[in-house]
């Protein structure tokens, strides 16, 4: 069977594996990128201000397995992801900012669609406007012209859409490589990737033809993973060094952050 696989297919298989390896959804979901929360060393949890999400119920029936998976993910992070992200950090800041803006811009059509599915018309229009402005005046999204002009929006995903229609979060789970999630968010993530015009687009949304070749899609996935890991490096380092129980800290932060995103 292996002998009939073309060299180009070998390349695609390797790139696919590497792309999944570096898709740092675990980093994006563990701790909010824009979070200003600090770690409370004595309580081993984020020092969140008291709010409606502070006492969120922890549903973690698979904790023993989750902790083992978390340790495995940490080993992968230290051995591969962190060193790669550190190399990326040496790139000039303007290049990293342009890359970040470009990648974020690619996610906006799907975010606008999810906003529409949730009945958030104003947010869908603002997201669509941002995508159109940044894709043109902003040179393919590399410059965030829209936000500089005061156009603000909230990013929405299919997990939030499902929650909007009454689907419960379900148990907390830690996935190999991909990190923290729940049955709700995992389902949403799978659907998002399936319908994204820059992903597999199984339902042919926005475009009947694939907008990107497999190789280009994988390159974007790798770049996105590296960029996210670079953004979160200070927070992840702080959690690992200062928290008595990093697993519990990340679990609390993830669940509170997702609950906030769903309710906003």
- Tens digits of per-residue pLDDT, 121-169? 999 999 999 999 999 999 999 999 999 999 999 999 999 999 999 999 9
Provide CB contacts within 8 A for 239, sequence distance 6+.
Answer: 30, 31, 39, 246, 249, 250
- What's the token pair of residue 54? 């502070």
| CA distances (Å), origin 201, targets 22, 110, 198, 208 | 21, 11, 7, 9
Between helix 63-76 and helix 246-263 the angle, nearest 10°, is: 100
Q: Is position 16 within any domain?
A: no
Q: What is the pLDDT of residue 101?
A: 95
Q: Is position 26 within any domain?
A: no
Burial 184-215 (b: 16+ CB within 10 A, else e): bbebbbebbbebbbbbebeeeeeeeeeebeee
Contact assessment for residue 124 and residue 115, using Cβ atoms and an 8 Å cutoff: yes
Contact assessment for residue 111 and residue 127, using Cβ atoms and an 8 Å cutoff: yes
Q: What is the pLDDT of residue 178?
A: 82
Provide CB contacts within 8 A for 144, sequence distance 6+.
Answer: 101, 104, 134, 138
- What's the token pair of residue 10? 């070998």
Q: Is position 213 within any domain?
A: yes
Whole-prediction pTM value?
0.76
Considering only residues 195 and 95, tell me which one the structure prediction assigns the higher pLDDT.
95
- The domain tally of the chain equals 1
Q: Is position 238 within any domain?
A: yes
Measured CA to CA, the distance from residue 118 to residue 124 in angstroms comes to 9
Q: Is position 180 within any domain?
A: yes
pLDDT at 108 over 90: yes
Q: Is position 208 within any domain?
A: yes
Nearest to 227 by CA among 131, 112, 87: 87
Which structural domain range is residue 119 located in?
58-263
Q: Is position 121 within any domain?
A: yes
User: What's the whole-number mean pLDDT along residues 4-18?
Assistant: 53
Q: Is position 32 within any domain?
A: no
**What are phi and psi for residue 142, nearest 5 degrees?**
-70, -25
pLDDT at 117 over 90: yes
**What are phi and psi for residue 89, nearest 5 degrees?**
-65, -20
| Tens digits of residue pLDDT in 31-89 | 444 444 443 333 333 444 445 545 578 899 999 999 999 999 999 999 998 999 999 99
Q: What is the pLDDT of residue 206?
A: 61
Measured CA to CA, the distance from residue 181 to residue 178 in angstroms comes to 8
Contact assessment for residue 170 and residue 61, using Cβ atoms and an 8 Å cutoff: no
Q: What is the pLDDT of residue 24?
A: 46
Measured CA to CA, the distance from residue 153 to residue 119 in angstroms comes to 14
The band of 27, judged by pLDDT with boundaries at 50, 70 and 90, is: very low
């Amino acid at each position: 069977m292996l002998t009939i696989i073309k060299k180009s297919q070998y390349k695609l298989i390797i790139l696919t594996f590497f792309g999944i390896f570096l898709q740092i959804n675990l980093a994006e979901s563990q701790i909010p990128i824009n979070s200003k929360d600090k770690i409370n060393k004595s309580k081993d949890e984020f020092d969140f201000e008291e709010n409606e999400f502070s006492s969120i119920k922890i549903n973690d029936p698979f904790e023993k397995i989750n902790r083992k998976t978390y340790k495995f993910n940490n080993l992968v992070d230290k051995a591969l992801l962190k060193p790669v992200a550190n190399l990326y950090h040496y790139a000039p800041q303007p290049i990293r900012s342009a890359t970040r803006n470009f990648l974020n811009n690619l996610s906006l059509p799907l975010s606008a669609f999810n906003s529409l599915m949730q009945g958030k018309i104003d947010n869908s229009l603002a997201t669509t406007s941002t995508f159109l402005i940044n894709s043109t005046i902003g040179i393919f999204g590399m410059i965030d012209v829209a936000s500089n002009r005061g156009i603000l929006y909230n990013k929405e995903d299919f997990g939030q859409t499902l929650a909007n229609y009454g689907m419960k979060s379900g148990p907390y789970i830690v996935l190999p490589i991909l990190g923290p999630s729940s049955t709700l968010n995992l389902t949403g993530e799978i659907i998002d990737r399936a319908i994204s015009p820059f992903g597999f687009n199984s339902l042919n949304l926005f475009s009947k033809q694939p907008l990107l070749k497999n190789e280009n899609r994988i390159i974007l996935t790798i770049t996105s993973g590296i960029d996210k890991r670079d953004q979160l490096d200070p927070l992840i380092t702080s959690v690992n060094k200062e928290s008595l129980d990093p697993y519990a800290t990340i679990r609390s932060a993830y669940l509170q952050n997702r609950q906030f995103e769903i309710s906003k």
